[in-house]
């Protein structure tokens, strides 16, 4: 999996493990407070973000669990199923198309395609008791793009640090949607959980502020909203108002200028949710809406990479534990 097979063993401080999980290559990053499992064989997905002190996993694990995207027997394939048939919940990298299938400049792109379904290369870059870091990288297949993503944990801190680079490996400009599909659900998410946002954030005027800052009851209609106005440093916090436990996500909003708020609250009784999904997605994105890349290019919200340009991005996910 990496270039450092014969690493010293350690079961304290910051440490990492290279494992096979549900038949997929995975890397476990761990310190005294967090355990983060990243699926190297499936999109570099964060499939576990567990706060050890409470045994609380913040990312949603879908009822059917983790599935290998190369195990496609028995399903009628289409450009939506390419993502949904293997969607385990968790936290995905979305590039170069966000939302529904779309065709742009002759490239047919599947839902949330295409890097979320690809295996990524892995390299261990730091392996010390005080800090660990793992670098994942992938090239997309229908557009000449390369993504490099470094996950980092520091000893004693309940915070995952992610630093990325997105490179245009061609001599022509490229338009892309780039996002992080972060979804909260059981066991963490409950009706009444609060979502905090910067004061300058803008939403659709028709949407009441409370409608987006308090998680609705089970059975409310599904919807999606797009927020802007984050300034250079975007952030949100989602917390349990009873015990103060929550997660703060921060990111470079000069690159990911929008936040998608996707709410699937159990009202969808047919495929693909069958009433089993009570989730809220809070997803930093370059480009909107969920109709795909061609629409984001049309409305001017897609990210443009100049020939051979590389764009950097940072994200941070930190556990909150407010004492009431």
Give the pLDDT band (50/70/90) at residue 324: low
Task: Give yes or no for a contact between 170 and 54, defined as CB atoms under 8 angstroms apart.
Answer: no
Give the pLDDT band (50/70/90) at residue 69: confident
Tokens describing residue 314: 């940072």
Tokens describing residue 105: 């400049």
Q: What is the pTM of this model?
A: 0.94
pLDDT in tens, 83-132: 888 888 999 999 999 999 999 999 999 889 899 999 999 999 999 999 99
> Can you tell me the distance from the alpha carbon of 75 to that of 85, in angstroms, rounded to the nearest whole number?
8
Q: What is the mean pLDDT of residues 261-272?
A: 94
pLDDT in tens, 225-260: 999 999 899 999 999 999 999 999 999 999 999 999
Q: What is the mean pLDDT of residues 36-43?
A: 97
pLDDT in tens, 168-227: 999 999 999 999 999 999 999 999 999 999 988 877 665 555 679 999 999 999 999 999
Would you state the pLDDT for residue 204?
Answer: 61
Q: Residue 78: is its pLDDT beyond 90? A: no
> Can you tell me the distance from the alpha carbon of 229 to that of 202, in angstroms, rounded to the nearest whole number?
6
Q: What is the mean pLDDT of residues 63-90?
A: 82
Residues whose CB is less than 8 angstroms from the CB of residue 183 and which lie 6 or more positions away in sequence, other chains included? 59, 60, 89, 90, 91, 262, 279, 280, 281, 283
Give the CA distances from residue 224 to residues 207, 242, 289, in Å, rounded to whole numbers and listed in that order. 11, 26, 9
What rounded mean pLDDT belongs to the chain?
93
Would you state the pLDDT for residue 207?
Answer: 59
Q: Residue 323: is its pLDDT beyond 80? A: no
Give the pLDDT band (50/70/90) at residue 4: low
Would you state the pLDDT for residue 313?
Answer: 97
Residues whose CB is less than 8 angstroms from the CB of residue 57 and which lie 6 or more positions away in sequence, other chains included? 48, 49, 50, 51, 187, 188
Give the pLDDT band (50/70/90) at residue 6: confident
Torsion of CA 269, 274, 280, 284, to 10 degrees: -110
Identify the CA nearest to 89 among candidates 118, 67, 110: 67
Would you state the pLDDT for residue 175?
Answer: 98
């Amino acid at each position: 999996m990496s270039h450092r097979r014969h690493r010293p063993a350690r079961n304290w401080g910051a440490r990492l493990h290279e494992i096979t999980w549900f038949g997929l290559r995975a890397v476990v990053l761990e310190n005294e407070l967090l355990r983060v499992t990243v699926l190297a064989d499936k999109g570099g997905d964060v499939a576990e973000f567990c706060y050890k002190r409470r045994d609380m996993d913040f990312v949603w694990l879908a009822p059917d669990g983790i599935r290998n995207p190369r195990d496609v027997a028995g399903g009628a394939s289409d450009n939506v199923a390419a993502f949904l048939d293997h969607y385990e919940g968790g936290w995905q990298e979305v590039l170069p198309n966000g939302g529904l299938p779309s065709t742009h400049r002759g490239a047919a792109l599947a839902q949330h395609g295409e890097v979320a379904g690809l295996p990524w290369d892995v390299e261990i870059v730091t392996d010390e008791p005080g800090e660990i870091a793992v670098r994942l990288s992938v090239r997309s297949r229908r557009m000449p793009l390369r993504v490099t993503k470094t996950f980092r944990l520091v000893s004693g801190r309940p915070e995952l640090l992610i630093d990325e680079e997105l490179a245009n490996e061609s001599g022509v400009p490229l338009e892309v949607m780039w996002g992080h599909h972060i979804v909260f659900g059981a066991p963490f998410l409950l009706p009444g959980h609060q979502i905090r946002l910067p004061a300058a954030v803008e939403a659709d005027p028709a949407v009441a502020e409370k409608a987006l800052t308090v998680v609705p009851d089970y059975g409310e209609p599904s919807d999606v909203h797009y927020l802007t106005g984050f300034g250079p440093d975007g952030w949100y916090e989602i917390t349990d108002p009873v015990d103060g436990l929550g997660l703060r996500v921060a990111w470079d909003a000069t690159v990911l200028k929008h936040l998608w708020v996707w709410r699937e609250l159990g009202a969808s009784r047919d495929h693909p949710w069958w009433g089993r999904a009570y989730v809220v997605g809070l997803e930093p994105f370059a480009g909107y809406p969920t109709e795909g890349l061609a629409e984001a290019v049309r409305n001017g919200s897609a990210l443009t990479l100049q020939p051979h340009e590389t764009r950097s991005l940072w994200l941070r996910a930190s556990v909150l534990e407010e004492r009431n």
